[in-house]
Amino acid sequence: MGKIHDFVLDGLDLRNKVILDAAVGAGVSTYFWAKAVHEQGGTSKIICVDNDLPQIWIDRIKKRLGEYSRYIELREADIFDLHFIKDESIDIVNCDDTIVFLNPRPLKLLTALKEFKRVLKPGGHLIITSEIPVESLENPDNEGQWRRWNLSKAIYDLKGETWSSEPLPEELKFALDILGFDVYAEKVFPSAKNSRHKEVMDEWRELMLKDIEEIPWDNELKGALNKAVNRVYDKVMSDGFLMNPSIYVLKCKKRKTT
């Protein structure tokens, strides 16, 4: 993960800036931003939003950031409606590992990108980090992640919801161009084995078993899905790793005149 954040932060002047972190999640990328702010003199602030920010997560994020917490403001908010942020008041938007959750229908993500554009100053930076899904089972290393991700999507479909929907880099670049952003740097970081998979899988299984309980289908189907979740869990545990998907980063600037 270090290399991705190095690329994300490379060349950015973080002095006297207002940064929007959308969304903060567990604060993994926020930590690197706050550390970089500190290293450049500690004169910037990071407004961190998330639409799911219970106290337990606030405590965890603050614990993760330690002394760098003083650079962040946490706020429960929906990325689609950042009304409390004035037009053209933000220097940099960081959107790390979140657009897949903002894209339940083909054009929905445009609304979020437009909100980023509204709050950004002309020439301001938008930095998006996202994933390219593992697409096939041809490589046996991919099996655990492929089954985990597609089973999650199927369970959410049965609930009438969307687990995630991944725009590919070319699609996102097309949308950014139409909206008035110029991409000035981009990079793909290839997929890699993640051997610290147990925590991810424990959390995933707990969430999926709860989601299955809530689907409006019969118990026979729920029983089959529970078994499928446990089989995927066992498969990843016996592999001893989970394949992390490839990650891409797009760094762009809001055009001064559009």
- Considering Cα of 227, then 102, then 49, then 69, what sign does the dihedral take? positive
The residue at minimum Cβ distance from ligand SAM is 25
State the helix-helix crossing angle for 169-179 and 108-119, rounded to 10 degrees: 50
Tell the smallest beta-carbon distance from residue 105 to ligand SAM (Å): 13
Tell the smallest beta-carbon distance from residue 10 to ligand SAM (Å): 17
Nearer to ligand SAM, 35 or 255 (CB): 35
Tell the smallest beta-carbon distance from residue 21 to ligand SAM (Å): 7
Tell the smallest beta-carbon distance from residue 11 to ligand SAM (Å): 20
Tell the smallest beta-carbon distance from residue 257 to ligand SAM (Å): 29
| Peptide bond preceding 34 in cis form (omega within 30 of 0) | no
* Neighbouring C-beta atoms of residue 98, cutoff 10 Å: 21
Q: Give the DSSP H or E segment for 25.
A: none
How do the residues of the chain divide into helix, strand and coil, expressed in percent and rounded to 5? 45, 25, 30
Residues that bind ligand SAM (CB under 6 A): 23-29, 49-52, 78-80, 96-98, 101-102
Question: Virtual CA dihedral for 143, 148, 152, 153, nearest 10 degrees?
Answer: -20
Nearer to ligand SAM, 149 or 225 (CB): 149
Quote the tokens at residue 11.
Answer: 């060349």
**Cross-strand partners of 219:** none
Nearer to ligand SAM, 24 or 85 (CB): 24
Tell the smallest beta-carbon distance from residue 101 to ligand SAM (Å): 4
DSSP state of 161: S
Give the integer Cα–Cα distance in Å for 66 and 114: 33
Nearer to ligand SAM, 15 or 60 (CB): 60
Quote the tokens at residue 155.
Answer: 């369970």
Quote the tokens at residue 8.
Answer: 């994300």
Nearer to ligand SAM, 78 or 166 (CB): 78
DSSP state of 191: -
Q: What are phi and psi of 138, to 5 degrees?
A: -55, -40
Give the integer Cα–Cα distance in Å for 200 and 193: 13
Nearer to ligand SAM, 111 or 230 (CB): 111
Tell the smallest beta-carbon distance from residue 44 to ligand SAM (Å): 18
Nearer to ligand SAM, 29 or 44 (CB): 29
